[in-house]
């Protein structure tokens, strides 16, 4: 029996077996396509999460989510308060990506209409090693407890990929920014 593999659509793989004998003794080529989705999640409790502290240091405190069912990914999330012009204090999500390529980025957070920021700023470090704005801001007052796509697919490299959640705001200080989990979904080369 000979096994061969061939990449197909992004995230898929075809495995072909030739020279396989059937129960009747006949040899016939056979192939089967298997689809593998490449998804990497970095949670606030994982080793890929860290904080980048500026001056003054603004702590990203962990918060346990106890409702049943919990809305936070993994049961906890981090939060901080928005400040006008502070681009130095941020939560960093650093994935272990299996390969370079385009990834759609999603954020998971606990929404709160009364206190969360309506334009949470995100940045991504792309394959050119440039850290750029990711989308135009995420409204964390709505759509919590689900994966929310941010911007379009980004060209990422495993050696430097990272997403940052910022406490910077152009106009609404004192709102809560939630940093819970980031998901990277491979969409192709």
**pLDDT tens readout for residues 8-54:** 444 444 455 555 555 566 555 555 555 568 999 999 999 999 999 87
The CA distance from 71 to 116, in Å, is 15
The CA distance from 126 to 62, in Å, is 27
The CA distance from 85 to 94, in Å, is 24
Residue 107 is encoded by which pair of tokens? Answer: 């954020």
**pLDDT tens readout for residues 139-148:** 999 999 999 9
Please, which pLDDT band fits residue 68 given cuts at 50, 70 and 90?
A: low
User: Mind giving me the DSSP string for 63-132?
Assistant: EE--SSS--SGGGEEEEEE-EET--S-EEEE----SS-EEEEEEEE----TTTB-SSB-EEEE-TTS-EE
Are the C-beta atoms of residues 139 and 148 closer than 8 Å to each other?
A: no
- pLDDT > 80? residue 134: yes
- pLDDT > 70? residue 155: yes
């Amino acid at each position: 029996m000979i096994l061969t593999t061939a990449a197909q659509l992004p995230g898929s793989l075809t495995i072909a077996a030739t020279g396989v004998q059937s129960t009747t003794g006949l040899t016939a080529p056979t192939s089967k396509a298997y689809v593998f989705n490449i998804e990497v999640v970095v949670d606030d409790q994982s080793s890929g999460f860290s904080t980048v502290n500026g001056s003054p240091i603004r702590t990203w405190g962990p918060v346990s989510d106890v409702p049943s069912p919990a809305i936070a990914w993994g049961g906890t999330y981090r939060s901080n308060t928005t400040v006008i012009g502070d681009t130095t204090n941020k939560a960093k999500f650093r994935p272990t990506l299996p390969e370079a390529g385009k990834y759609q980025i999603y954020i998971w957070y606990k929404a709160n209409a009364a206190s969360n920021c309506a334009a949470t700023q995100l940045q991504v470090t792309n394959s050119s090693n440039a850290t750029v704005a990711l989308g135009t801001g995420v409204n964390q007052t709505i759509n919590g407890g689900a994966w929310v796509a941010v911007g379009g697919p980004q060209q990422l490299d495993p050696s430097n990929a990272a997403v940052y959640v910022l406490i910077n705001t152009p106009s609404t200080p004192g709102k809560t920014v939630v940093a819970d989990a980031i998901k990277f979904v491979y969409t192709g080369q």
